[in-house]
């Protein structure tokens, strides 16, 4: 009987422990110590520094946007998402396994009227700079990421095969431009041919054309320069300067004739030798009869009319 009581007591104690154990919280989350932990959700691990640039370049490549292509080498998996970004994921269970961004779509590299590569910049920090990647597009039977290397520290090189670039003219720059920008390019070619600009000036004009087309991304300093250029009057060639001067002279002549018609005095050189006109408004005094009496006619600057309510 005593043995039975001891057995029941032991069983009750065991059941009590089991009940209390059932109330314990089981931790299912892995240790998240360390940066870019592979167990964290991707949205938490990959934090881009900037948004991708707008899609640009050959229109037939736009169909690649929204797709991603993977390449596995050793313990690393690389993903190239055209017009978006390039990422790298270390496929190990180390506590500090790297998973991050190697570059965000930025601009094209252009040489000899050809798109020679896609630059993905402003990736994860790497010491004092940011990781960046150049993507080479080569002819292939299918769309695939074929090769990845790191020529210099934190600067990567990707080779992407695609049948979309197999045609010899598939990566030409000129056909992708608007008619207006094509005319600008033609004018630059003519200026270079006529030796009115240097090779350096020619390359500068082309760079401005590519930036306007969205193929190259202008720096912040360049954007400020563009705004200042809109305000200031600049002449790139002697021919353009002469044309603008002729138009300005014709407008000044019209203004002088208009002032003379209304008896407004002005000072200046002759029409043929005018460089700067000094116009002095000296309206004559006229008396106009108005409803409430007489009033001297007063002209505002640029107002050549008279009182219309005279009776």
Give the pLDDT score at 16.
Answer: 54
Angle at 182 between CA 180 and CA 185, to 5 degrees: 115
Q: How far apart are CA 16 and CA 11, in angstroms?
A: 9
| Residue length of the chain | 311
- Region 174-179: what's the mean pLDDT? 96
Name the residue with tokens 């736009």.
Answer: 62
Nearest to 125 by CA among 151, 162, 106, 98: 98
Give the pLDDT score at 92.
Answer: 78
Long-range CB contact pairs, 176-182, < 8 A, 24+: 176/56, 176/57, 176/58, 176/59, 176/213, 176/215, 177/209, 177/213, 178/213, 181/209, 181/212, 181/213
Q: How far apart are CA 228 and CA 114, in angstroms?
A: 31
Phi, psi of 50 (to 5 degrees): -155, 170
- Region 251-272: what's the mean pLDDT? 68
Q: How far apart are CA 281 and CA 259, in angstroms?
A: 9
16-35 residue pLDDT tens: 544 444 443 333 333 333 34
Give the pLDDT score at 8.
Answer: 54
CB contact at 8 A, 159 and 147: yes
Give the pLDDT score at 273.
Answer: 46
And the tokens for 199?
A: 């090779």
Q: How far apart are CA 15 and CA 178, in angstroms?
A: 82
Out of 100-104, 111-115, 260-264, which region has the weakest mean confidence (pLDDT)? 260-264
pTM: 0.58
E strand or H helix at 114? strand 114-121
180-196 residue pLDDT tens: 999 999 999 999 999 99
Identify each DSSP E strand in 41-75 by its residue range: 69-73
């Amino acid at each position: 009987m005593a043995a039975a009581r001891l057995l029941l007591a032991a069983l009750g104690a065991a059941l009590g422990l089991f009940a209390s154990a059932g109330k314990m919280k089981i931790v299912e989350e892995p240790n998240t110590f360390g940066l870019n932990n592979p167990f964290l959700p991707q949205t938490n691990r990959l934090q881009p520094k900037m948004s991708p640039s707008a899609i640009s370049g050959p229109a037939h490549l736009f169909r690649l946007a929204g797709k991603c292509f993977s390449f596995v080498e050793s313990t690393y998996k690389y993903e190239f998402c055209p017009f978006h970004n390039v990422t790298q994921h270390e496929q190990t269970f180390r506590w500090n396994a790297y998973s991050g961004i190697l570059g965000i779509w930025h601009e094209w590299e252009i040489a000899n009227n050809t798109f020679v590569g896609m630059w993905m910049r402003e990736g994860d920090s790497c010491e004092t700079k940011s990781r960046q990647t150049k993507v080479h597009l080569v002819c292939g039977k299918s769309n695939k990421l074929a090769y990845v290397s790191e020529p210099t520290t934190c600067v990567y090189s990707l080779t992407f095969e695609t049948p979309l670039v197999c045609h010899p003219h598939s990566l030409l720059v000129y056909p992708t431009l608007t008619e207006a920008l094509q005319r600008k390019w033609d004018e630059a070619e003519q200026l270079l041919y006529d030796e009115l600009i240097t090779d350096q000036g020619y390359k500068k004009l082309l760079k401005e054309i590519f930036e306007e087309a969205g193929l190259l991304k202008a720096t912040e300093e360049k954007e400020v320069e563009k705004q200042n250029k809109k305000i200031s009057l600049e002449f790139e060639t002697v021919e353009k300067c002469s044309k603008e001067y002729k138009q300005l002279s014709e407008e000044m002549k019209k203004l002088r004739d208009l002032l003379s018609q209304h008896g407004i005095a002005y000072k200046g050189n002759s029409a043929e030798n005018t460089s700067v006109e000094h116009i002095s408004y000296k309206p004559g005094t006229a008396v106009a009869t108005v409803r409430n009496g007489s009033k001297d006619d007063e002209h505002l600057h640029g107002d050549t009319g008279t009182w219309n309510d005279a009776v």
